[in-house]
Structure 1
Amino acid sequence: MGIHLERALLFCTLLVLTHGLEIPDPDHIDYIRQQAKAVINTTVSLKCGSSMPTLFIWVFSKTEFDSSEALAYNYGLGPKTLPLANTLGDPFLAVNTSSLQIMQIQAEAEGIYTCQALYDTDKGPRVTFYYTHLSLQGQQNTAKGSGSV
């Protein structure tokens, strides 16, 4: 179940939202794995490819759990973030990109972020899954020169 069920559900969601857009060969879906590290209370930028997809959805799951929840999406009507995203920090989708940025990132944000991107190309539609494992470190030390002599 787990990650394979997540892929199937997200894939079906995008196909329904595209109103009948057919993927010629689902076996040719791309899967990209990435690592990201951040310090609690700083900003992290999670990438979803190098070009803007036609449609995309960001999903989050805690490392130790199989369940996933939607965080943000853009189905062609402008980017939207969902309430879960606010529990992880101060999220936003950068303008004209599919990058998810989280400012003041919280400890709860450690986990796996999946961006499912649908690209409408001249050669037909293409789907890419970007899996990013985010690891967090303790709070950033903002005090300078505060050591003992």
Structure 2
Amino acid sequence: MTLTATAIALLGLVAWPLLLVVLMVNQRGLLVLGGKMAVNAFKPDGSNTPGSFGQRLVRAHANCLENLPLQAALLLYAIATAQTALTDSLALALLGARLLQSLVHLISTAPVFVWLRFAAFFVQLAILAWWLLQFAGLLG
């Protein structure tokens, strides 16, 4: 069985936040095992994690999960209705934009990086809107 670009994107959109949570668990585990934080001291938003990377990691992971339902719903719809021809051409661009958004978030929150992150997010929204309009038959 050959995976379509749509299926690869769907799997990637699930695998990426899984990798981010593994990084988060690893970072927190090292802090706990190193005696730098108590196991029950972590705030859900990562704001009390030493350094700013921990907070950015938590936010990047949460952002992936916040957007996954929209992305997965349209990709699954395409697969379930045998319409992957509509999504295959942009599926990997969607995944790439998602990865770029997260990576930029992990690197910095300086203004230029926030603009890059927004651009990557906008690409994802545009792709999802395009697909939705196509599925609804509003575009040829």
* TM-score computed with the length of structure 2 as normaliser: 0.30
Greater strand percent: which structure? 1
* TM-score computed with the length of structure 1 as normaliser: 0.29
Greater helix percent: which structure? 2
